[in-house]
Amino acid sequence: MLFSALSASVALLVPSVLATDPIKPNRTVLFHSHNDYKRPRPVYDAFDHKFRSFEADVWWDKDAHEFYVAHTIITIDHSKTFQTQMLDRVLKIMEGNYSSEYPKEAPHKFLNDPNNQPTSEPDWYKYYAEGFGGVRPIQLLLEIKSNDGKESWLHLMAQLKPLRERGWLTKWENGKIHYGPVIVVGTGGTPAYEMAPKTSRDYFFDCPAGSLNDTVQTPTGLSFPFNSTLCPMSSKSYIDVPESNLGLLPPPPKAPYQFHREIVETHRHNSTTRFYGVLAGSLARIDDFNMLIQQGSDWLNTDVMSDEAAYNRS
């Protein structure tokens, strides 16, 4: 009696968050390496943990003609460029020089799988989760931080030349998506209004989950829908969803409904969902992630490398 009263009061004092374990999902959960360039070994660390989506925050310096990767302008380190921290590493992996997990024949297998056919109705979840020829695609999420997306975007696209020349980029051409073993998705200051009007492009947009009924407006007055040919992934800040508890306390009972609505809406637009902004240090991280998975979210956005194994390999 005394003992159970005591443990009940202890249970009140110690929030259940401390005891939460990752649930066992009934599908592959897609993992995105948030601010990947901050890891000791950008791209490689996350790749070794079976992540296939990597993020770089890039700052264009037009005098140096370089993109530096950094979170803020004052933390720029001139030895760390988009090329050194991301592009060269992705090329090394894809040329089979990094890991036996990715042999050099992999891109060829991906591109030559007979099931890999151009389509006007892409199934992005399937693309990310399974890929083709037994090879999952690599996603580069590029966030332009400098306030010059309209000009710098083109320079960033130009830097993708080595991937483009090898024929590895997923592209939109002749009204169809042609799946490649790499997909480039722009976010942050990336100008969707420059991208959407193009009838041929090898880059995509991280569309605004929750606002997908809006349209992309060009300065000349044209409008384009957020649809699957533009939006392989759609994102929203976790804390911007009502009832999120800022991601710091476990989601309250009303939260699942709110997230579910956003997810269903994104799926109706044939895109995949990513909620970012659950902090690595939050004690509620696993509660939040469990809820997102239960509500059908496709991606988990994380800084914690062990999360992938905790969910996909348990």
Ligand X SMILES: *[C@@H]1O[C@H](CO)[C@@H](O)[C@H](O)[C@H]1NC(C)=O
Residues in touch with ligand X (CB under 6 A): 26-27, 91-92, 95, 97, 120-121, 196, 213, 224-225, 227-229, 265, 269-270, 294
Q: Which is nearer to ligand X, 146 or 228 (CB)?
A: 228
Q: For residues 259 and 11, give the distance between their C-alpha atoms in angstroms, rounded to a whole number.
A: 28
Q: Which is nearer to ligand X, 272 or 282 (CB)?
A: 272
Q: Which is nearer to ligand X, 20 or 83 (CB)?
A: 83
Helix (H), strand (E) at residue 67: strand 66-69
From the number of C-beta atoms within 10 Å of its C-beta (0-12, 13-18, 19+), residue 92 rates as: middle
Measured over the CA atoms of residue 82, residue 84, residue 88 and residue 93, the dihedral's sign is negative
Task: Give the shortest CB-74-to-ligand X separation in angstroms.
Answer: 32
Q: For residues 56 and 71, give the distance between their C-alpha atoms in angstroms, rounded to a whole number.
A: 9
Task: Give the shortest CB-11-to-ligand X separation in angstroms.
Answer: 27
Task: Give the shortest CB-37-to-ligand X separation in angstroms.
Answer: 19
From the number of C-beta atoms within 10 Å of its C-beta (0-12, 13-18, 19+), residue 91 rates as: middle
Contact status, residue 30 vs residue 127, Cβ threshold 8 Å: no
Q: Which is nearer to ligand X, 145 or 269 (CB)?
A: 269
Q: Which is nearer to ligand X, 120 or 306 (CB)?
A: 120
Task: Give the shortest CB-72-to-ligand X separation in angstroms.
Answer: 30
Task: Give the shortest CB-97-to-ligand X separation in angstroms.
Answer: 4
Task: Give the shortest CB-126-to-ligand X separation in angstroms.
Answer: 11
Q: Which is nearer to ligand X, 145 or 236 (CB)?
A: 236
Q: For residues 35 and 24, give the distance between their C-alpha atoms in angstroms, rounded to a whole number.
A: 26
- CA 8 distance to own-chain centroid: 41
Contact status, residue 168 vs residue 182, Cβ threshold 8 Å: yes
